[in-house]
Amino acid sequence: MDKIRWGIIGCGDVTEKKSGPGFIKAEHSGLTAVMRRDGAKAKDYAERHGVPRWYSEADDLINDKEVDAVYIATPPAFHLQYTVQAAKAGKPVYVEKPMALNVSECLRMIETCRLHSVPLFVAYYRRALPRFLKIKQLLESGAIGTVRNIQTTLHTAPRPPDFSQEYHWRIDPSISGGGYLMDMGSHTLDFLDFLFGPIAEAHGFAANLAGLYPAEDTVSASFRFESGILGTGSWSFTVGEDQDSTEIIGTTGIIRFASFNESPVTLQSAGKLTDFNIPYPPHVQQPLIQTVVNDLLGTGKCPSTGESALRTARVTEQLLSGYYAQKKSR
């Protein structure tokens, strides 16, 4: 095989720019088919993106003999179901983040893929983006000495769907697994795992302070990596001013970066402040998609797997478990 032919299950908003075109533009990769339960929308997507075939049933796409691998871009509640179906058909799986609703589902996905000898990858794409790889390079070069502490903050104002009472799956825990911590905060937690290895222990408090939707809207956490590095996190999605900042504090300096906006990565060391302006590519998932394609073709390794994403799922579950246990007891 010299090319991976992809099928997408769930060709919604995330696939329009972030991921979908990346399957076409990556080397030795192509997009053969897309699926959406609304057949008219699937057809429209296929026509706009030049995709040869479209389906309204996942089984039809999975069983298409010209689809080599499956990208699952549905909300998390459906990741387990479609991963199992694809794995049983012998198709490698690339699934959106968060990996699933909970750790139990993640484990079932990993075990099913292992049983059927197919690889499982997860779309934590910061592990392959140049601006984030620069951070890894700075750390490995000893730019801030030995890392002691990490402080991460993500605060945003409520979004229009939060006020509207219109259904929005990202804040419906039965579909998303939680609130915006799962959707957005998991990106930073996963990237920190990429930099420093597994988080051994995480403790947190989660609350719904604004009462705009069912999911938690505020989370405070402390965590410890297996290496001994300590960290704290603050996530709040109903505040007045946005803040997106992570500080990696070392014995000789500090690295600061944003997880979502394009502000410079900064290095503070020896009384000097250095900015690294590294823009996002047009299709942010394309670099990670390329690593998946290379992995499937035996020419490289993808840094974001089911096993690594499971570790992030364990952390988010630890941070949110008290909040949802309390809701169930009421």
pLDDT of residue 165: 66
Indicate the CATH number of 130-279+313-329 among 3.40.50.620, 3.30.360.10, 3.20.20.60, 3.40.630.10: 3.30.360.10
Characterize 21-56 residue by residue with b for buried, 16 or more Cβ atoms within 10 angstroms of its Cβ, and e for exposed.
Answer: bbbbbbeebbbbbbbbeeeeebbebbeebebebbbe
Distance CA 75, CA 57 (A): 16
Per residue of the chain (330 residues), give pLDDT as tens. 799 999 999 999 999 999 999 999 999 999 999 999 999 999 999 999 999 999 999 999 999 999 999 999 999 999 999 999 999 999 999 999 999 999 999 999 999 999 999 999 999 999 999 999 999 999 999 999 999 999 999 999 998 878 776 678 999 999 999 999 999 999 999 999 999 999 999 999 999 999 999 899 999 999 999 999 999 999 999 999 999 999 999 999 999 999 999 999 999 999 999 999 999 999 999 999 999 999 999 999 999 999 999 999 999 999 999 999 988 776
Query: Would the pTM of this model clear 0.75, i.e. be above it?
Result: yes
Give the CATH class of 4-125+285-299.
alpha beta
Phi and psi at residue 149, to the nearest 5°: -150, 150
CA distances from 323 to 178, 190, 296, 316, 317 (A): 10, 21, 40, 12, 10
DSSP one-letter code for 145: -
Phi and psi at residue 203, to the nearest 5°: -130, 145
pLDDT of residue 330: 67
* 29's tokens: 């990769």
Say if CB 214 and CB 207 are below 8 A apart. Answer: no
Q: What residue spans define the domains of the chain? A: 4-125+285-299, 130-279+313-329
pLDDT of residue 235: 98
* End-to-end alpha carbon distance in the chain: 55
pLDDT of residue 162: 81
Characterize 126-146 residue by residue with b for buried, 16 or more Cβ atoms within 10 angstroms of its Cβ, and e for exposed.
Answer: bbbbebbbbbeebbeeebbee
Say if CB 269 and CB 143 are below 8 A apart. Answer: yes
CB atoms within 10 A of CB 170: 21
pLDDT of residue 205: 97
